[in-house]
Amino acid sequence: MSEPLKTTDYKSNLKPIWCPGCGDFGVLSAIYKAFEELQLQPENTAVCSGIGCSSRLPGYINAYTFNGIHGRVLPFATGVKMSHPEATVIAVGGDGDGFSIGAGHIGHVARKNIDITYIVMDNNIYGLTKGQASPTTPLGVRTKTTYYGNMGMTFNPVRMLIAYKASFVARTFAGNPKHVQKMIVEAIQHPGFSFVEILSPCVTFRGKEQFKIIRDKVVYLNETHDIEDELKAFDIANNEEHFTLGVIYKKRRPTYYEIVMEKVTAKAKTHSNGTPEISKLLDQFQP
Ligand SMILES: Cc1ncc(C[n+]2csc(CCOP(=O)(O)OP(=O)(O)O)c2C)c(N)n1
Ligand code: SF4
């Protein structure tokens, strides 16, 4: 029997070039530990991203990794999962990548319940391009693009994901990597689309005091929380006085792949190993 994999087995040869103190370090360290806990096999794991500081993360992981086009991580990850349903597929990125240019994709991945985990390192700013406002920049905050203070209402990712019928929605904080690890493990284990918002401060363009500001507003869900109660989940998301951390909503429903297999391939003759016979599948499309 082979030796269990250790966190070091999941590290690539690249060294992170994030600014010292960036929240994304805590996220990366939690991902290594989550992979070790789950004993993910690098050859059966894909970690994909768009463009941004946070989107550099796949480069630091020993697995199949892809650093793609700004805002397009979800279509790419969907393609990987549909062509390799047996693989663990993880999409990562920032709030700019996911909620600005890439926002149109989230609803479709959520409603189809594609079995991937989407981790957003939310720092409320565009870090890589040096400090422009993002959809999650708080109201009134001055940035490079909001000289008089941000005038647009602040986006609430957890509320949006619940509304989009994501089957797993969690929030956590890079300042507590153990909790990040727990959320990532649960998200990967969930069959279906799982979304994890990680509050991950940008110390350079939002200030290092962000860690304290967030820590002072954090509350943790306990085991009395009914994770299948959608209205309660909305209540939690709507409470913007606090950052409530934990699995806020979770419900098992068929994944896209399960539905496809049931509706389409179940009709076709299968081989003795359970895989569909392609010629029978193609016959279905003959007039
Ligand atoms: C099509 C396209 N538009 C814009 C950009 C410029 N761009 C690169 S990263 C980025 C935003 C990064 O912010 P975020 O996704 O929040 O990640 P962070 O750097 O904060 O981790 C932008 C606008 C780009 N690379 N490609
Ligand atoms: S600019 Fe911000 S998000 Fe980017 S590496 Fe530096 S601290 Fe992190």
pLDDT digits (tens, 9 = 90+) for 155-181: 999 999 999 999 999 999 999 999 999
pLDDT band, residue 283 (cuts 50/70/90): confident
- Model confidence pLDDT, tens digit, residues 191-246: 999 999 999 999 999 999 999 999 999 999 999 999 999 999 999 999 999 999 99
- The pLDDT of 113-126, averaged and rounded, is 98
Query: Could you tell me the distance, in angstroms and rounded to a whole number, from the CA of residue 62 to the centre of ligand 1?
Result: 24
% the chain with pLDDT above 90: 89
pLDDT at 270 over 90: no
How far is 85 from 220, CA to CA, in rounded Å? 33
**pLDDT reported for residue 268:** 67
Per-residue DSSP letters for 38-68? HT--GGGEEEEE-SSSGGGGGGGBSSEEEE-
Helix (H, G, I), strand (E, B) or coil at 72: coil
**pLDDT reported for residue 79:** 96
pLDDT at 188 over 80: yes
With a Cβ cut-off of 6 Å, ligand 1 is lined by 51-54, 70, 93-97, 101, 121, 123, 125-129, 134, 202
How far is 60 from 57, CA to CA, in rounded Å? 6
Hey, which residues does 197 pair with through a beta bridge? 120, 171
Query: Could you tell me the distance, in angstroms and rounded to a whole number, from the CA of residue 20 to the centre of ligand 2?
Result: 8
- Among 124, 128, 134, 199, the mutation site with the greatest number of ligand 2 atoms within 8 A of its Cβ is 128
Query: Could you tell me the distance, in angstroms and rounded to a whole number, from the CA of residue 287 to the centre of ligand 1?
Result: 48
pLDDT band, residue 267 (cuts 50/70/90): low
pLDDT band, residue 34 (cuts 50/70/90): very high
Please tell me the pTM assigned to this model: 0.94
Query: Could you tell me the distance, in angstroms and rounded to a whole number, from the CA of residue 206 to the centre of ligand 2?
Result: 9
Domains and CATH numbers, the chain: 7-253 (3.40.50.970), 256-287 (no CATH)
pLDDT at 286 over 80: no
- The pLDDT of 105-112, averaged and rounded, is 98
% the chain with pLDDT above 70: 96
Mean pLDDT over the full length of the chain: 95
- The pLDDT of 106-115, averaged and rounded, is 98
From the alpha carbon of 18, which atom of ligand 2 is closest?
A: 5
**pLDDT reported for residue 190:** 98
**pLDDT reported for residue 11:** 98
- In Å, how far from its chain's centre is CA 84? 19
How far is 77 from 70, CA to CA, in rounded Å? 13
